[in-house]
Structure 1
Amino acid sequence: MLDNKYHEKKFTKSAFNQAVECAMYAYYYRNSKDYAYHFDGVDGIAEVGDQFGALARVYEGVPDENIIRRDPTLSPVPAQMKTLVDTMRFLRMENADVAEAAFGTNNFLVYVDILHKRGDTLEIIEVKSKGIGADEPLYSFDGRGGKFKSDYLDKILDVTFQKYVVQQFTKFFESYSHLKVRAKLMLVNTDAVSDVDSLSSLLQIKFKDGHREVECASDIREKLQGKNNIARVIDVDELCDKIIADEIPEIANEKFNGCFVDFVEKVADMYVNNRKDYSLCKVDVKKFNCPFYATDEERKAGKKDGCAEFFKDMLGVDIAGKPCIVDVKGGSKGLPPSLKGNGWLEQKKLLLTDINEYEYVPAEDATPEAFQKRTKLSDNDLRFLHVHSVKTGEVAPTFLKAAAKAEMAKWTYPLHFIDFETYQGAVPLFKGSRPNEEVAYQFSHHVCYEDGHYEHKEGRGGEFISLEAGKNPNFKFVRELKKQLDNDDGTIFRYAEHENIILNAIRVQLIESDESDKDELVRFIEKITHPTGSCKYPFTAGPRDMLDLKAVAQKYFYHPMMGSSNSIKQVFPAILASDETYFRDHYGDDMDPYHNLPMLKEFAAKVDANKFPADFDDSDIWNDEKQINCGGISKLDYVMLQAGRFNKLHTEAIRQASLKYCEVDTLAMVRIWEYFRNNCEE
């Protein structure tokens, strides 16, 4: 067995994926109880990815009894040893199909998603829920100068690392030294059409003793027999070998300091011995994006700031709790000429206050009077205002009154403000749909009139929500949207590009459908949208193409509260602060509706239990302390709703909470319009 150097903390796939971005990330990750960590992910995406992982096991013929499960009752070392012993049992067989096979040496440990043993060959398959087209190349050498180019590099490196560790395992244990290792990558085929009813519901997400797992329906293999496979398996073995041998210079130099093996071995040693080694790191502008940063609240609570610690140790500059140069609009691409490239590094200018804002706008063009002569705020104007406000403490907004008034004169009343809530997942929810296909289940619609009043549920305004299990709501969604918007020719507003993208996607679905009214619905979509980047069925922008309120706000309004962001979550409070007297006089404590969103338990308490009974116990997934905000119903909860996992009472509570949240999003858009209208009339 393994010698006495066996470490409890092993260098795993997760640690490797951190180290690929920065060797020190692996250290912070190992010590994540001490360091703050901000994962930039989508709520529920891991759980939905687990569904595809379970589906992959079915596709690859792995029996349930061949899934190597980690025993949560054991301490780390015995648990790891047990998985290694279980794996070795399968390796002694001539042929075996295994999931979560463990391979490790003194410093390394990986769990392989799918392992096929055929004689002397071990085929490892890494399963990822990222989408790829049926004929889309995984990579190319089409970059500048014939350099390697891929949108899937992180997935490729993941399986490369696994192949390396499995190879080290076969060398470590002499009895397995004859085994050859081959690597493949399984991704989601976004061109595949599911011909299975409610495929997702055959893969039930369960929570047991604090652990998440996917339970396949007992008849899933029977139901998938002869059906379309939504996965695409790609042979990456030769590519992995080239990466390990440093035969692709841009990968070796960018990710591994020139040598894959040397980097991996040194980082693994650093990781298992829990020490820092800055010699494995290089300082570049990407390090400002370190996810191991701490907010003021987290620092007060005793959490360490890995990002600040890195720059302090490497450059002697303290950035903790301070805005940095990459916080300007555009990030590193938005730096002034003197700091571009390595200028910031050579001068050790890391803080936003180190920027000379007059490199963006000359002093003579930076007066309030000069700003009011502009027809719109440029990116450099916004950078100037941001940096200047941080350096001077300026709190007053900048509003281009004349330019905004000219813009508003082009609008046709009544104005329509719409917001969509959507779902996108690797495993299709409905028969006839594709992986990662957009599902539009809800919209909110406010209508504003020239005299200043507005409507939502009454009059011409409205809302729509469809949470019915097993029913794709997309076409019903468009029919209702058309019904509400087709009564006049008023200007339609969205916030950002999401609504346009969704309607473009549904347009394609309609064109390829057999719906009797599809031509009418397609014409409606084409009237209020413009084509996205890659348009399958080309068309020209419609005469009533929706206006982007985000772009409008950016052109004419800036407040220091916004920093460099134009998200509605930043613009809306800035609008309220810019005219607090008006909004408080008119709306009192309700002027910011986001602050008044109730918890789910408050909605549940008001549901008519006679009409919507708690017909079964769903306490394993129900969380009444949760609040629906920041994007609506989570991916996980939407999958659960489609699978009928919530009882009727809780389903109705979620429905009401989602309606309220979506209404608030369009109400925030109305408040922005109110500010523009009121300040242009003064």
Structure 2
Amino acid sequence: MRALTKSRFKLALECPNKLYYTKKTDYANLKVDNPFLDALASGGFQVEELAKLHYPNGILIEDKKSDGAYDYKDKLEETNKLLERENVVIFEAAFQFDNLFIRVDILEKKGNQINLIEVKSKSFYSSNSNYEFVGKRDGIEKSWAPYLFDVAFQKYVIEKSFPEFTVTPFLMLADKDKTTTIEGLNQLFRVTKKSNNRTGVEPKILKLNNPDKESVLSKVDVSGVINNIVSGKHRILKEYEFEDAIQLFSKAYKEDRYFDFDLNFQACKKCEFKTDVESQNLKSGFKECFSKKMGWKEDDFKDPNAFEIWKLHYTKLKTFQELEILKLEDIDDELLKPKSVSKPILDGMTSYERQLIQKTKATEKDFEPKVLKAKLKAEMDSWQFPLNFIDFEASVSPLPFYAGQHPYEKVVFQFSHHIYNEDGSIVHANEYININAGEFPNFEFVRELKLALEQNNGTVFQFSTYENSTLNQVKVQLENSNEPDRVELITFIKSLTTPPKSTDYKGEIWKPSRGMVDLCEVIKAYYYNPYTRGSNSIKAILPAVFETSEFIINKYSKPLANLNITSKNFKPNKVWITKVNGKVVDPYKSLDKPFKDWDDNFERVSDIEEINDGGAAMTAYGLAQYTDMKDDERDFIKSALLKYCELDTLAMVMVYEHLKEIII
């Protein structure tokens, strides 16, 4: 059966044309990943299992496969049999109407009253629930729309299947106003591939004695907003009433037919049905849509377009769509001009100026970097040697580590620290990592960082505001702790960080004595490299530097033993820059696979194949926390994390060296 499930319904709300491309193996899909690792990273399945403990008498309809196929009939029959009871709680209840099929996280039946409870790991503040879902202007909040339409779809299918039932919809969410009284709550839900449970999570706790105090989940009635979705007051696709959308999507998916929906540039920009380097042999749904709707040929896709423009406001894409233009060569400079020009953090390029530079260089095929040399030199001359480059790896979990903590308190488990001396020598001076299961590393992390940075009085660099915001969150944890050195550690944090910039922030204001320099802001203010195509991520900046700087290429094409560089995790013969067919290989892609030297005669619980970005690092940390992993497997992951984080701070050093090269 080609069933329109709730996930496919949500996909169609992003763009109905996606229904044609989803689940087709001959089309690229950039969002396809390992669901086991995805769930591990998000903590969503652990939240589902905690939610079930709120209903100790609930009955689970388990997954059973028939010849490898999904068994709709069996699940429906089991659900219908349970619904014959006067009162019952069902986990994963199944409902079908025509080719619409859903499974409900938690369904509570009391006579003819049905409570539909959708469990999500997304957080909210119960004290502000009036404005969480619908804003003060009475419009549905964009971040909540997919979740609420999901619930509306489920309610629709249940009511069509059983018209005699009255359905009340709820969301059960991680409540940031709540804390837990249970120590190590997040360690009590173990992730395993061997579980028969759909979630792959086995709880180590069988019941909650006092859910209001032990659980950090809260249930909220969303009947009002769901009724407004059904009535058409709230829409994602303005073209369709709620029920019309369901029927149209259902028919198109059942017939496996291209929907032929008009292009929506905002959605197209984020379309996952595109090819990348690793999926060039697959078809592109993105290209097919533009070929059908705009008549583009293969060469048209090679021309620079507005999707690449950095920090482009979504209203601009709407304007371009109305004018039926997307290529940069067709867009006048005036069309990019914002209503008001915001002042940059540093005295450099404004966002608008940077966009114009990007547009001009892209259309003229000019790959020479644009540099405000005098201003960049003045900024760099203000830096004090030795220079300190730091990078953190952190994770968040909806379920807290400690009693008294809220959901999604950040756990910072690793840092790397490179020092660049005035004589040009480079030292990987310090590092810290703690991925031991159940250990809360934050306070020890700050102690180790303090020891590392107190070695000198030089300038400290971050790349983006991640380190600043992370330390500020740990500051709050320290303020709520009984750590004997908390005052000393808080003083250290305040010496590096600036207070949060959120307009909602009402806390303490301070001025750091050694405030971190954001190397990303330096790049945005004074330097634009066309090879980045507008991205300011260090994962884009570094390859762009390799395309531009012969100095960096020549230096890092030599083994570490030949350079004035010390490393904690790489051998002296390590070469950072190599070429294949004349093209520089991304150093992050050259990192060893975590289990390259693993003895395959021994089973391991982790599926992770590489750790070369922040998402993979977070996933690796989750594996170490929530699976019953043996120490030797954890050591392999630890080694890979140390190498990845060392490269992150070395990459910052390389970017610095390139900027230094430019201003001389």
| TM over 0.5, shorter chain | yes
Deviation at 1:390, TM superposition (A): 2.8
Aligned counterpart for 1:565 among listed residues 523, 535, 541: 535
Which residue does 1:407 correspond to in 2?
379
Which residue does 1:471 correspond to in 2?
439
Which residue does 2:4 correspond to in 1?
11
Aligned counterpart for 2:267 among listed residues 251, 271, 287: 287
SS of equivalent to 1:678 = helix
Separation (CA, whole Å) in 1 of partners of 2:322 and 2:594:
52
Which residue does 1:67 correspond to in 2?
60
Would you say the 8 A contact 1:603–1:656 is kept in 2? no
Letter in 2 for 1:18: L
Letter in 1 for 2:157: V
Higher deviation after alignment, 433-442 or 309-318: 309-318
Which residue does 1:38 correspond to in 2?
30
1:181-580 equivalence runs, <5 A: 181-208=167-194, 213-217=199-203, 219-221=205-207, 227-246=213-232, 248=233, 251-252=234-235, 254-278=236-260, 281-295=261-275, 297=277, 300-301=280-281, 303-318=282-297, 320=301, 322-333=303-314, 341-342=318-319, 344-356=320-332, 376-456=348-428, 461-532=429-500, 533=502, 534-535=504-505, 537-580=507-550
Structure 2: tracts of 5 or more residues without a match: 338-345, 559-574, 578-585
Identical-pair percentage: 30
CA-to-aligned-CA distance 1:309-350 (integer Å, 9 cap, x gap): 223322323454554222111234595xxxx753x3354322
Higher deviation after alignment, 284-293 or 568-577: 284-293
Would you say the 8 A contact 2:393–2:618 is kept in 1? no
Q: Cα distance 1:427–1:41, how it changes in 2: closer, same or farther (>3 A)?
A: farther
Which residue does 1:175 correspond to in 2?
none
Separation (CA, whole Å) in 2 of partners of 1:628 and 1:210:
28
Separation (CA, whole Å) in 2 of partners of 1:446 and 1:635:
22
Which residue does 1:152 correspond to in 2?
144
CA-to-aligned-CA distance 1:410-468 (integer Å, 9 cap, x gap): 11221111000001121223444321110000000111122222211xxxx21111122
Structure 1: tracts of 5 or more residues without a match: 1-7, 172-177, 362-373, 606-613
Q: Cα distance 1:668–1:276, how it changes in 2: closer, same or farther (>3 A)?
A: same
The yes-or-no answer on 1:599 pairing with 2:606 is: no
Q: Cα distance 1:401–1:438, how it changes in 2: closer, same or farther (>3 A)?
A: same
Q: Cα distance 1:81–1:183, how it changes in 2: closer, same or farther (>3 A)?
A: same
TM-score scaled to structure 1, two decimals?
0.85
Separation (CA, whole Å) in 2 of partners of 1:126 and 1:51:
14
Which residue does 1:52 correspond to in 2?
47
Would you say the 8 A contact 1:618–1:647 is kept in 2? no
Separation (CA, whole Å) in 1 of partners of 2:332 and 2:158:
52
Which residue does 2:564 correspond to in 1?
none
SS of equivalent to 2:359 = helix
1:105-116 equivalence runs, <5 A: 105-116=97-108
Separation (CA, whole Å) in 2 of partners of 1:144 and 1:42:
39
Letter in 2 for 1:395: F
The yes-or-no answer on 1:26 pairing with 2:49 is: no
Which residue does 1:88 correspond to in 2?
80
SS of equivalent to 2:405 = coil
Would you say the 8 A contact 2:54–2:211 is kept in 1? no
Would you say the 8 A contact 1:292–1:305 is kept in 2? no
Would you say the 8 A contact 2:183–2:402 is kept in 1? yes
Deviation at 1:81, TM superposition (A): 0.8
Which residue does 2:161 correspond to in 1?
169
Deviation at 1:579, TM superposition (A): 1.6
Would you say the 8 A contact 2:45–2:201 is kept in 1? no
Would you say the 8 A contact 2:208–2:214 is kept in 1? no
Q: Cα distance 1:360–1:229, how it changes in 2: closer, same or farther (>3 A)?
A: closer
Deviation at 1:275, TM superposition (A): 1.1
SS of equivalent to 2:120 = strand
Deviation at 1:274, TM superposition (A): 1.1
Deviation at 1:139, TM superposition (A): 3.6
Letter in 2 for 1:17: K
Would you say the 8 A contact 1:355–1:387 is kept in 2? no
CA-to-aligned-CA distance 1:33-52 (integer Å, 9 cap, x gap): 23222229999442321111
Deviation at 1:183, TM superposition (A): 0.9
Would you say the 8 A contact 1:328–1:334 is kept in 2? no
Which residue does 1:130 correspond to in 2?
122
Deviation at 1:305, TM superposition (A): 1.9
Would you say the 8 A contact 1:54–1:214 is kept in 2? no
Deviation at 1:633, TM superposition (A): 5.1
Separation (CA, whole Å) in 1 of partners of 2:383 and 2:331:
39
Deviation at 1:387, TM superposition (A): 2.5
Letter in 1 for 2:188: L
Deviation at 1:120, TM superposition (A): 1.2
Q: Cα distance 1:422–1:192, how it changes in 2: closer, same or farther (>3 A)?
A: same
Deviation at 1:471, TM superposition (A): 1.5
SS of equivalent to 1:353 = helix
CA-to-aligned-CA distance 1:392-424 (integer Å, 9 cap, x gap): 322222233222111111112211110000011
Separation (CA, whole Å) in 1 of partners of 2:309 and 2:424:
35
Deviation at 1:140, TM superposition (A): 6.5
The yes-or-no answer on 1:653 pairing with 2:636 is: yes
SS of equivalent to 2:436 = coil
Q: Cα distance 1:277–1:652, how it changes in 2: closer, same or farther (>3 A)?
A: closer
Letter in 1 for 2:252: M
1:593-672 equivalence runs, <5 A: 593-602=587-596, 604=598, 618-619=603-604, 621-623=605-607, 626-631=609-614, 634-643=617-626, 645-672=628-655
Separation (CA, whole Å) in 1 of partners of 2:225 and 2:50:
26
Q: Cα distance 1:390–1:297, how it changes in 2: closer, same or farther (>3 A)?
A: same
Q: Cα distance 1:94–1:595, how it changes in 2: closer, same or farther (>3 A)?
A: closer
TM-score scaled to structure 2, two decimals?
0.87
Letter in 1 for 2:226: C
Q: CA RMSD in A?
A: 2.9
Would you say the 8 A contact 1:378–1:555 is kept in 2? yes
Would you say the 8 A contact 1:632–1:658 is kept in 2? no
Letter in 1 for 2:329: T
